[in-house]
Amino acid sequence: MGAVAPLDARAERRGWGRWGRPLPGRGTGTRTRWCSSSGGGIWRASENLTVWPGHDTVVINRLQVTVPVTRSGRTRGVGVPGPGSPKEGSRPGTPSSSPLSCRRYVAGGQCKSTVRLEGKVAIITGANTGIGKETARDLARRGARVIVACRDIEKAEAAASEIRAETGNQQVIVKKLDLADTKSIREFAEKFLAEEKELHILINNAGVMLCPYSKTADGFEMHLGVNHLGHFLLTFLLLECLKQSAPARIVNVSSLAHHGGRIRFHDLHGEKSYNRGLAYCHSKLANVLFTRELARRLQGTKVTANALHPGSVHSELVRHSFVMTWLWKIFSFFLKTPQEGAQTSVYCAVAEELDSVTGQYFSDCKPAYVSPWGRDDETAKKLWNVSCELLGIQWD
């Protein structure tokens, strides 16, 4: 971290020295650093210094943000303009230079819909903490009956109690669901269908990340089993209820990390080789492909399916990695809060303009770029068929 990196020819034409030295009078030097980029891990970005007197430009999540700096000899610190700094907003096309403005860019888009959800039923997996909890809080505030589907009942009850007290909505219900066990998934679906008549929103939010190699109760690699196969089976079991309750929505929480994923059909469970970071990426790509094929199959049913990237969120998802937990704390200023990270989930679940939108991928409450592997229809169909075989189901 912090090592000076060579610049490409394009950078040199902009006035940057070949090895990071700013050319006299203009331009910047560049140094490589690491910063958080998605729920999928730490990505390399570049930090460009001395764009004009008193300011630095920092690339955060591929977004160039200009922030003021102090200058004392070689010391630079974000927060206080240096001598000769331009006034805030004085450079056309450049974000405001205050740290608060920088933080707003990190926070990303917000769901502005004011739609009410009285009479609607929603299931949110993994809603005892982080993004899921904040999504449940938002839907409860809108009047929905919210099913908090979690493995840890004690944490789920605490979260539900907090949400009920804050929103005044007593229809926040906790149900046991362990996505690492197909028996638990089937039991959850059976009980839900026996107790509830309708289901309007299914948010497949729960997930694991950077786990040491392990398998689910059914012998699936943990990332694939929980993040993809568990939600695949849950959606299958609840689909008829969703169709009967239409219009209804299925929301799959994926990640920008899907760009680094590949579906390794020859080694789906990582028995030949395993990398915990790549395993997470593979499972997030599976979420995108599942959404794409599901949307195609649901055309004409008034049930939509969309996927999303919540952003870089300060949550418990990285708890399996000491290094990532440590880095998450260091870069917390550049991470979304769980409430900010939940905005796109809420948007996909309630926004009126998405009533007929399906098979799409969103980030910051707007359509986002999907990797070429996430747009491969043949791979999506093959993954669908393989998933059905692994789970012992027939889903035509």
Residue 187: is it exposed, middle or buried by C-beta count within 10 angstroms (0-12/13-18/19+)? middle
Q: Which of 280, 347, 361, 369 is catalytic?
A: 280
Nearest to 108 by CA among 154, 65, 159: 65
Q: What is the DSSP string of 181-199?
A: -HHHHHHHHHHHHHH-S--
Instruction: Say if CB 63 and CB 55 are below 8 A apart.
Output: no
Q: For the CA atoms of the chain, what is the radius of gyration?
A: 23
Instruction: Tell me the two tokens of residue 169.
Output: 């909505």
Cα 178 to Cα 230: distance, rounded to the nearest angstrom: 9
Instruction: Say if CB 65 and CB 95 are below 8 A apart.
Output: yes
Which residue type is seen at 307?
A
Q: Report DSSP state, residue 22.
A: B
Cα 30 to Cα 78: distance, rounded to the nearest angstrom: 17
Centroid of chain to Cα 143: 25
Helix (H, G, I), strand (E, B) or coil at 51: strand
Instruction: Tell me the two tokens of residue 374.
Output: 């996430």
280 is catalytic: yes
Strand order in the sheet with 366-367: 172-176, 145-150, 121-125, 201-204, 248-253, 303-309, 361-363, 366-367
Nearest to 65 by CA among 25, 107, 24, 32: 107
Residue 188: is it exposed, middle or buried by C-beta count within 10 angstroms (0-12/13-18/19+)? buried
Q: What is the sign, positive or negative, of the torsion defined by CA atoms of 116, 118, 120, 125?
A: positive
Helix (H, G, I), strand (E, B) or coil at 122: strand
Taking residue 30's Cβ as centre, other Cβ atoms within 10 Å add up to 23
Nearest to 192 by CA among 206, 171, 170, 175: 175
* Catalytic machinery residues: 280
